[in-house]
């Protein structure tokens, strides 16, 4: 009788183990099927807010690429900017947060990731730095609401936003209200300016650009590292895209797993417009250092216009 009970327990245990292995195999198989065969989103062009239009492009050549372009009319009186404020923590500039967390915390209608930062590493879904709340430092100059909290750095250039939404890329701007820095101006005078070999790799990308008038700011985010969905762009390719959309000068911001574009609707719900990839998981946002946010006004409802 005792042996019979023991055998029964072993059969139950082995059955449970077999079921667990089967479920694990199905889950892993399902993940890889989804990872390699996600359908690309449809192209779209729409007005998100007053003075802000959003375009999503879906390219199949020279490889699958999904590109997100936000065009901001700097002359619109409802447009205002905000860079993540500095909050010194453990000897560093601020604590890491995702782009969605930044948008929700400060109530901006649109946000992208901004500057390169350190320390950083990513060895797997659980082994990475920073997590949300970890202290980080920004590479290059950062200014928020007129207060500088990180300094200029060799090899970095800066987007400055001054009173009246005057925007410039590169040079100096003593009266800047907001500033974020990137590693290299890669479009000058409407042409690709060339750069290091790392600019030739296919990666997720984030960039900002100004048109010839300086009155229109472009935010561009490219999805990448996602086979058959979007495999990223080189900077020469991104330059061509920006030039095609009227960009005259463009600055390369932090890319890779940091590349994220977020919007908030009139009810305050934040949604991620692109497909970020952090620790090889599509749709997972990376906690980063600073962000560039835009306040904007809702589009008037024509049905309620007298």
pLDDT at 29: 47
Q: What is the mean pLDDT of residues 33-46?
A: 83
What is the band of 7 on the pLDDT scale with cuts at 50, 70, 90? low
What percent of the chain is helix, strand and coil (3-state, nearest 5)? 20, 40, 40
Please indicate, yes or no, whether residues 166 and 261 belong to a single structural domain of this protein: yes
Judged on CB neighbours under 10 Å (0-12, 13-18, 19+), 140 is buried
pLDDT at 256: 98
Residue 167: inside a domain = yes
Looking at the predicted structure, is the pLDDT value of residue 30 above 60? no
Residue 95: inside a domain = yes
User: Alpha carbon of 26 to those of 20, 103, 227, 279, 280: distances in Å?
Assistant: 10, 36, 20, 21, 19
Query: Tokens 């300094």 map to which residue?
Result: 151
Please indicate, yes or no, whether residues 13 and 64 belong to a single structural domain of this protein: no
Residue 275 three-state SS: coil
Q: Which of 5-14, 261-270, 293-302 has the lowest mean pLDDT?
A: 5-14
- Report the share of the chain in percent with pLDDT over 90: 80
What is the band of 32 on the pLDDT scale with cuts at 50, 70, 90? low
Range of the domain at 31: 1-37
Please indicate, yes or no, whether residues 154 and 217 belong to a single structural domain of this protein: yes
pLDDT at 300: 83
Q: What is the pLDDT of residues 196-205, one digit of tens each?
A: 988 999 999 9
Looking at the predicted structure, is the pLDDT value of residue 19 above 90? no
Please indicate, yes or no, whether residues 148 and 281 belong to a single structural domain of this protein: yes
Residue 304: inside a domain = no
- Report the share of the chain in percent with pLDDT over 70: 87
Residue 247: inside a domain = yes
How many domains does the structure of the chain reveal? 2
Q: Which of 82-96, 109-123, 264-278 has the lowest mean pLDDT?
A: 264-278
Residue 306: inside a domain = no
């Amino acid at each position: 009788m005792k042996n019979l009970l023991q055998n029964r327990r072993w059969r139950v245990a082995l059955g449970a183990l077999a079921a667990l292995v089967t479920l694990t195999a199905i889950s892993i198989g399902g993940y890889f099927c989804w990872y390699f065969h996600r359908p690309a989103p449809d192209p779209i062009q729409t007005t998100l807010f007053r003075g802000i239009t959003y375009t999503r492009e879906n390219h199949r050549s020279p490889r699958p690429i999904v590109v997100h372009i936000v065009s901001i009319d700097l002359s619109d009186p409802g447009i205002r900017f905000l860079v993540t404020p500095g909050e010194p923590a453990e000897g560093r500039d601020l604590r890491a947060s995702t782009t969605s967390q930044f948008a929700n915390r400060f109530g901006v209608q649109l946000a992208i990731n901004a500057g390169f930062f350190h320390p950083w590493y990513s060895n797997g879904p659980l082994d990475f730095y920073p997590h949300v709340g970890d202290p980080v430092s920004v590479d290059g100059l950062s200014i928020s609401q007129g207060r500088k909290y990180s300094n200029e750095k060799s090899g970095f250039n800066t987007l400055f936003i001054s009173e009246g939404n005057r925007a410039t890329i590169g040079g100096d701007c003593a009266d800047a209200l907001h500033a974020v820095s990137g590693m290299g101006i890669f479009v000058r005078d409407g042409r690709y300016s060339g750069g290091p070999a790392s600019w030739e790799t296919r990666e997720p990308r984030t960039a900002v650009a100004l048109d010839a008038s300086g009155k229109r700011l472009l935010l561009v985010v490219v999805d990448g590292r996602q086979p058959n969905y979007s495999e990223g762009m080189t900077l020469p390719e991104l330059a061509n895209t920006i030039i095609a959309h009227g960009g005259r000068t463009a600055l390369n911001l932090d890319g890779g797993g940091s590349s994220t574009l977020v919007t908030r609707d009139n009810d305050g719900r934040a949604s991620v417009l692109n497909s970020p990839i952090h620790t090889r998981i599509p749709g997972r946002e990376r906690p980063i250092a600073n962000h560039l946010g835009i306040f904007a006004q809702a589009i008037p409802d024509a049905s309620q216009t007298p």
